[in-house]
Amino acid sequence: MHHAPTLGADPERPLYIVFVGAGAVGCFYASRLHHPSHNIHTSLIARSNYATLAANGVSLQTHTFGNYTFTPSSVLPSPSAAAAAPHPWDFVIVTTKALPDRSDDATLIAPLVSPTTTILLIQNGVGVEAPYRRRFPSNPIVSGVTVISAEQITPGTVRQNRWTRLHLGPYSHSADLDAESRVDSHLESLGLAKAHQIGDYWTRLGGIKDVEISDELDLQIIRWHKLTINAAFNPSSVLSGGRTNADMVSDPELRSHLKGVMEEIWEAVPTILGGRKFGEGLASPERILKSTERNVGGRPSMLVDWEAGRPMELEVILGNPVKIARGRGVRLGRMEGMYALLRSAQGRRDGEKGKGKGKGKEEGKL
């Protein structure tokens, strides 16, 4: 982990931060960054809950910080509305679902990005950063992996149940979908400085004590480790007919399958990430399975999306890792099979509903 001297916001110059996506994760982390008394001003771009947030702010019920109301500097209905702000955005923080097959979010945020903007991505899966790097070749990009249990129980009301951990690290090129991708030291150092800056605000001013800063490849290790859980449980829950995590683990055949998916990723990661391995502190597949036994009622987000008729995060949880691995000469056979089946199932479901490609793109908008 990297440590930097404490950084404070410049008292002479306001710092402007905008969150793209006002779900539970975005609202919670935004609320811990908004400190007008320290010249840090945080805004939200909301969609379905825009009217509620604009009128009342966000009501937070938190395990960690008690209950409070977060009133952002502004609540905006779209990126174009945010682009009309009379100041540049210092940080654009993306907390939407990553659906690169449905919408090009890198282009969507382009009106918000100036030459001095840092882009921070707090999203699931791997390869999420690559479209932003291609669209913004010289801006600092910070990649974020969160461990949090939070939900928006009604529009504008967010409950944080457990955990606040946030891993941050720079991103240059290491998760692009080609075998020659390497870390760019200049872009990495730019992103690392910005990761320390925003991490310091969250820790010192926002009270989140478990923000951890890593270099680029260590942050990707953390991304791939979280993927071992998401790639095993999320698709399998849909393909098994809607079984919950704990229920799947109780079935010997499914338990063996889940372990196989996780072990497939464990074995492939050193080749994918230039020799780096999962460290001792990261839970092994067997430990993950044991802890899941107690997670009774846990419903993976992909299952929730499937049952609601929404697009699933198939590309970043299955498609991207399969393609990244293939580009480095590694096959992820179990994941390839689940990806092919679910991609077909989702396509048929959406086709049967009369949703053409254009409608799908509309759904993916913020």
Quick one: 284 and 338 in the same domain?
Answer: yes
- For residues 290 and 284, the answer to whether their CB atoms sit within 8 Å is no
Tokens representing 92?
A: 């654009």
CATH of the domain at 21: 3.40.50.720
Give the residue from 214, 229, 263 where a domain finishes: 214
CA distance 153 to 83: 29
Quick one: 70 and 156 in the same domain?
Answer: yes
CA distance 9 to 300: 38
Quick one: 61 and 115 in the same domain?
Answer: yes
Give pLDDT, residue 274.
86
Quick one: 298 and 331 in the same domain?
Answer: yes
Block means of pLDDT (10 residues each) for the chain, length 366 residues? 48 90 95 96 96 97 96 97 97 94 92 97 95 96 93 93 93 77 89 98 96 95 95 97 95 98 96 90 94 82 94 96 94 98 96 52 35
Would you say residue 335 lies in a domain?
A: yes
Quick one: 114 and 168 in the same domain?
Answer: yes
Would you say residue 322 lies in a domain?
A: yes
Give the residue from 170, 187, 214 where a domain finishes: 214
Quick one: 298 and 172 in the same domain?
Answer: no
Range of the domain at 68: 15-214
pTM of the predicted protein model: 0.90
Tokens representing 358?
A: 């254009």
CATH of the domain at 289: 1.10.1040.10
Would you say residue 3 lies in a domain?
A: no
Q: What is the number of domains present in the chain? A: 2
The burial class, CB within 10 Å (0-12 / 13-18 / 19+), for 104 is middle
Give the residue from 214, 245, 265 where a domain finishes: 214
